Amino acid sequence: MISVVIASVNKNYLADIKINIAATIGLIYEIIDFENAEGKIGLCELYNRGAAQAKFPIICYMHEDIKIFTNGWGKIVVDAFNKNKSLGIIGIAGSVYKAISPSGWHSVSEITERSHIIQQFKFSNHEDLHHNINPYREEKATVACIDGV
């Protein structure tokens, strides 16, 4: 069972991701969403509110402008946590290194990046970009930070 927390700035995107989650998650879940179109509340605060309201022990923080292609992803996530009790976080994009200086999560090179996403460009006509960066072909990687997707 998973609690999904979403900070929403677009009600149409929110409606779409709710349909997508229902079609792909594959287990019992709840969605905790916050309308924040005017951006008056910071993302971290909204995510903390969602965590406080969550009914289930696994919390998935998610943007609303994504699409999940993996059927049964919820079971995959729950199984990963059940198999490894020391697991703290799972992500689809992250880095094994995080600079101490203010920077993004992927500021060094592809050798430190780990990701498996299809980047779509909603404000331009760019072709979709498949990021599958895993230079050592690890099944799991210990990372210093993850990207919020």
When divided into structural domains, the chain yields a total of: 2
Q: What is the torsion angle, in degrees rounded to the nearest 10, for the CA atoms of residue 113, residue 134, residue 29 and residue 80?
A: -110
Q: If pLDDT is split at 50, 70 and 90, which confidence band does 145 have?
A: confident
Arithmetic mean of pLDDT, 104-124: 79
Domain hosting 97: range is 91-149
Span 83-102, pLDDT tens digits: 999 988 888 888 888 888 88
Shared domain for 124 and 77, answered yes or no, is no
Q: Which helix (H) or strand (E) holds 31?
A: strand 29-35
Q: If pLDDT is split at 50, 70 and 90, which confidence band does 10 have?
A: very high
Predicted TM-score of the model (pTM): 0.86
* 3-class DSSP assignment, residue 120: coil
Q: What is the pLDDT of residue 41?
A: 95
Shared domain for 95 and 73, answered yes or no, is no
